[in-house]
A = this chain, B = another copy of it.
Amino acid sequence: MIDSENTAVTGRSPCPVSCSLDLLGDKWTLLVVRDLLLGKKTYTEFLKSPEGIPTNLLAERLKRLQAAGIVDKSRYQERPVRHAYHLTEKGRDLRPVLLAMINWGNKYIPGTVTRAQIAAMAPHLVEGE
C-alpha cells in the first residue's frame, strides 16, 4: 500500500472514528463521495445533485479529498479541456461507510430512497456486500 497521502494521526485523538471524522465529518464531503460512487465525474455533475452544494464548498471539498488521496483528478479531453474526478482505492473503500448509512437511513427515516431502488439505478454502489 502506498502511504504518501495517508496522513498519520494529527487530529484530536488516535481514535479511528475521530480521525475519520476529522476528514469526513461534515454535511457535504460524504455526499461528494456518494456521487463519485454513483459514477458522477465532473464538477457540474456534482453541482446538479439534488442537495445543491454551494460551488465554493464543492471546490474546497474536492481539493481536500484530493489532498487526502481519496479522489484524483484528470483531464479526459483537450479542446475543450474537460476534467474528470475519480475515487482512488482509499475512496472506494468508503463504500461500507455509505452502505451502513443507507441501511440505517432506510430503516429509521421513512421516505428515503431504498437500497433496492438505488440498486436499480446504480448497481455498482450497492451490489455485493
Contacts and interface: CB of A to CB of B under 8 A. Distances in A.
Contacts of A25: 25-27, 30
Interface residues of A, number: 49
A100 B97 contact: yes
A58 interface: no
A111 interface: yes
Contacts of A108: 6, 90, 93
A52 interface: yes
A65 interface: no
A53 to B, nearest CB: 9
A75 interface: no
Interface stretch (A11-19, A39-47, A79-87): A11-19
